[in-house]
Amino acid sequence: MTVVLDYEAVARRLSEEFPGSVMESGKSGIVVKSERLRELAGFLRDSSEFEFDYLANLTAVDYLDYFEVVYHLVSLTNNHSLALKVRCTDRDKPVVPSVVDVWRAADFQEREVYDLMGIVFEGHPNLKRLFLWEGFIGHPLRKDYL
Amino acid sequence: MALKTEPFILNVGPQHPSTHGVFRMRVTLDGEVVVDVEPVIGYLHRGIEKLAESRTYTQVIPLTDRLDYLASMTNNFGYVLAVEKLAGIKVPERAEHLRVIMAELMRISSHLMAVGFFLNDLGAMMTPVLYMWREREKIMDLFEMVCGQRLTYNYMRVGGVSHDIPEEFLPALGRFVGEMPRFIDEYEQLLSQNEILLARTKGVGILPRATAINIAASGPVLRASGVKWDIRKADPYSIYERFDFEVPVGMAGDCYDRYWVRIQEMRQSVRIIEQAVNQLPRGEICIKLPKPFRLPSGEVYGHIEAPKGELGFYLVSDNSIAPYRFHVRPPTLINLTALRDMVVGWKIADLIVIFGSIDVCLGEIDR
């Protein structure tokens, strides 16, 4: 059985390692500061206690007040999982750092989120629309699109 | 004297017999050798995630049929499991068994298509496919018996399944389960040691273990690269922990191993179906849901082992009758991330084979 890690405990551990990086932790995941995302991602992948080598799912949700990008991480070695989140409040130009160089699984998924939700992943090597054609106006999965 | 050559860009698809749907590849060639490939997708994008936001939780089930249309039952299954996980619904025992039987039949059917068309891509035009379709047809007939449909079943419900099996179902399933191992032997006799198949697939399109994990490959593509990871074992859902079956794992991560893993998985699926039929209890097939059905606020990520890999559903609910956000984690879109790694340096004929060995379904890639 894949163990869902105790988010409070992981949040404490991450705060120890990277002070001030965790914004909140609840029963649905850990929200971290987006400017600290890349160092946290590298740590979560490489440290022996977590070893999150597998980015199972990456998606985003539009809560109108803010966008939330969700990373579902799994460790194939330790068989445990974690939901990591970052938020961005700027609706006109939401920017989140890319994690493609940590998990290449993010490649198409970040392009999909960019295409449908309009979130720019800074550092993505090939950030283009994935499904819709170039020249399409708007990002359909946003709640204010229709 | 060295010849001056220039790279050549070739469009494969979107209308091409070996792209398994409306898939396009922009291939850069140096002579016959592939130096770069860029998948261009979205021709089948129907906006299913957006559509789902204005439909009730039950009305979303037929939309999931249209994701991976070669494994519709499994898509139904993954979706209703995610809803039940958030709602905390316990499903009747009979329904659990029926779901497992359908999901494993679907796996056999999907793998038959995958292997058949893989052989097509190798140039064995239509003959292997028709052998595979002989058995797939029987599975279609079984599905038609339980829900009246042959492709988009809309069979699972939140809390159970839509119809109980008719009385002619179990005898027909028994015949199928009895003869299927013999047919798999037949495929193996025809194919597994076939010299042309070996020459074209052994050592071709290798996906190293570390890359497979880093790109989050799943299903037969991941297991062929030597990673023993099957969600039915690693994170058992429904009643899978009650069944005895093995997880076939490849060694080399080449096209042959991906073919071989699928063949072996069919054998294991037959074993699971046999056990599920033997344990099949009597009783209810679906619980009564309150009307209208509202999902408690919160979010959930549910994942299952679909024939093509990890099929995940991410749902966000605001306690209304429709999902606030509905996201599908399609296994083959993410498996496609590895396409470039696998094909660069191979010839254009191998590109078709390597792409065929991933076993994509554009319905779930484009959504």
Tokens coding A116 = 């449908």
Q: Which residue of A has its CA nearest to B42?
A: A131
ipTM, two decimals: 0.90
B276 in contact with chain A, both atoms CB, cutoff 8 A:
no
The C-alpha of A17 sits at a distance from chain B's nearest C-alpha, in angstroms, of 24
Cα dihedral B275, B281, B285, B286 sign: negative
Q: pTM for the complete prediction? A: 0.89
A88 in contact with chain B, both atoms CB, cutoff 8 A:
no
Pairs of residues, one from chain A and one from chain B, whose beta carbons lie less than 8 Å apart: 79
B296 in contact with chain A, both atoms CB, cutoff 8 A:
no
A120 in contact with chain B, both atoms CB, cutoff 8 A:
no
**What is the pLDDT confidence band of residue B19, given thresholds at 50, 70 and 90?**
low
Chain B interface, best mutation among A141, A143, A144, A145, by max B CB count within 10 A: A141
Q: What is the per-residue pLDDT across B241-282, written as a single tens digit (0 to 9) for each?
A: 899 999 999 988 899 999 999 999 999 999 999 999 999 998
Going by CATH, does the domain composed of A3-92 fall within 1.10.8.60?
Answer: no
Among the partner residues A28, A61, A76, nearest to B227 by beta-carbon distance: A76
Angle at which helices B169-191 and B255-279 cross, to 10°: 160
Question: Which residue segments constitute the domains of chain B, with CATH numbers given?
Answer: 46-366 (1.10.645.10)
The strand ranges marked E within B21-100 are 24-30, 33-40
**d(C-alpha B350, C-alpha B204), whole Å:** 8
Angle at which helices A37-46 and A7-17 cross, to 10°: 110
B214 with A53: Cβ contact below 8 A:
yes
Q: What is the per-residue pLDDT across B180-219, written as a single tens digit (0 to 9) for each?
A: 999 999 888 888 888 888 988 988 989 999 999 999 999 9
Q: Is B364 in contact with B219 (CB distance < 8 Å)?
A: no
Q: Which residues of A touch B298 (CB under 8 A)?
A: 28
Domain boundaries, chain A: 3-92
pLDDT for residue A21 is more than 70? yes
**d(C-alpha B30, C-alpha B21), whole Å:** 26
Share of chain B above pLDDT 90, in %: 54
Q: Which residues of B touch A107 (CB under 8 A)?
A: 215, 337
Segment B325-341 mean pLDDT: 91
Helices (H), A78-142: 106-117
